[in-house]
């Protein structure tokens, strides 16, 4: 099988979260094509499980889909930070709980057709009350649900965020729930 080869990558727009590129690719048949590529620094998310077995979720407005979304806490990796520490930081920032025990669950690429965004998904059952520390443009509501309720929300279309769907179903399977 012939290989694909990137001949050129041109930065179209450098954003705060993503960079948009045009890639000129040589295809296996020798032809060339222009493909869109979105570069992303990576992200992490965490499933926070309270002492009653409920998962702490955040509801926030998402501009891209023009509606509120029910999600697990998540955010982009800061310079010098790894996925695990990012997940712990986002937990505290968004929910007001911290943890000293973060367990890896899965990693996933969000949209492999045009982006390299990779999200590390973690979970914790060791929640320590702390202080919420939202970004100045971040407004979230904290909600708590059982795994069963969240799975039903997925199949009812209430939860439609890919990382959250993947995380909840992976957590349910791993824990044998």
Give catalytic residue positions: 136
Contact by Cβ (8 Å): 154, 169: yes
> Are the C-beta atoms of 93 and 110 separated by less than 8 Å?
no
Q: Please say whether the dihedral angle defined by the alpha carbons of residues 83, 89, 93 and 95, taken in this order, is positive or negative.
A: positive
Q: Which residues have a Cβ under 8 Å from the Cβ of 85 and sit 6 or more positions away? A: none
Spatial contact of 37 and 21, defined as CB atoms under 8 Å apart: yes
Q: Residues with Cβ < 8 Å from 29, sequence gap 6 or more?
A: 2
Separation of first and last alpha carbons in the chain: 43
In contact, 8 and 35? CB cutoff 8 Å: no
- State the residue for tokens 């795994």: 147
């Amino acid at each position: 099988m012939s290989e694909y080869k990137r001949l050129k990558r041109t930065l179209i727009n450098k954003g705060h979260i993503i960079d948009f590129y045009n890639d000129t690719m040589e295809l296996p048949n020798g032809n060339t094509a222009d493909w869109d590529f979105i570069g992303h620094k990576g992200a992490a998310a965490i499933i926070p499980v309270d002492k009653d077995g409920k998962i702490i979720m955040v509801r926030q407005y998402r501009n891209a889909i023009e509606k509120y979304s029910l999600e697990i806490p998540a955010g982009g990796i800061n310079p010098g930070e790894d996925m695990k520490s990012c997940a712990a930081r986002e937990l505290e920032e968004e929910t007001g709980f911290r943890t000293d025990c973060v367990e890896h669950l899965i990693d996933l690429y969000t949209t492999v057709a045009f982006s390299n965004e990779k999200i590390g998904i973690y979970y914790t059952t060791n929640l320590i009350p702390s202080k919420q520390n939202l970004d100045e443009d971040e407004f979230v509501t904290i909600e708590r649900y059982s795994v069963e309720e969240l799975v039903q929300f997925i199949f009812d279309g209430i939860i439609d965020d890919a990382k959250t769907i993947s995380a909840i179903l992976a957590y349910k399977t791993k824990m044998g729930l």
